[in-house]
Structure 1
């Protein structure tokens, strides 16, 4: 389904506005505090742009403008009925329907045969070390958050991240072993060696 606003940041804004009307600055602060910025890339400018796109689409509306002496005028946005319907429809679609994503590493793997196998092995070993470190750091973060009383449902995206990292690490280790085999290296040099 084609969405009027399809940026993942828009979905996060809609989800946070379910809790009540807010200013975009407060939304950004909450996204960072809850770690959502690990999965959704944004900056202040992109956040304001997405809020404006949601307003034009009719998913959020200006509720009030607040002026105090300390800060410039701030516009508070609220979720509309259309925005609420869009949020739940979009969430249902994302949770229910698998889609093929195009991660950069997938591109690299589809073309890895152009690299000298010895170099590819070295690069993959470095990737393995980075993945293992990322898994360790993410597990520590989840452990800390759990210890601080954060409910598991608010950490589920990190569990998903760990699962993906572990699966990638297994694949990288297997591929490293295959590329290190003399049989493959000899065949590669036979095919590609003269091209270099």
Structure 2
């Protein structure tokens, strides 16, 4: 069924903020308010056939949260625009690596939320100017060209960048935890990046992010 505008859903567990954002979207020109929910599970149970659309997603949710929540909603076919009170570098980069199309701080004005929604709906990305420095910092000290990784190594790296634990990676790829850790050792040896935040930054720099990894 065709809508009269861009279908935009909301996943936010704080009732007052959720209602405020839903009201903003409902009154906005060119936007059709979609499913509004307090968790990813609730959204999945209630969602209509929105034809994709955009979802405004908080990261600190009951149940599935953070990068895993982003991955789940992206996997449903939506463009995710994170709207979070938390904006440390690891959280911003993790969300973007997981497939988010944009990231906004809850301190932003209503006009900026709508501007970001319109851009993301058109296939663009958007990040609040106050958060952009996190991404710029991640690219500022790029030191080496891309390293040749195998397809499986790229898959493992993409899931690390999305915030997944070794156990989650093993289940997703249907391999053992020992095998996951073996791949991680090879990736660390090849890239020279030891810690997970460093691997996340490397993955984003080199374009090895969730949803862009060859099968």
TM-score (norm 2): 0.25
Identify the structure with the greater helix proportion.
1
**Larger Rg over CA atoms:** 1
TM-score using structure 1 length: 0.27
The one of the two structures with greater contact order (alpha-carbon pairs below 8 A, sep at least 6) is 1
More strand by share: 2
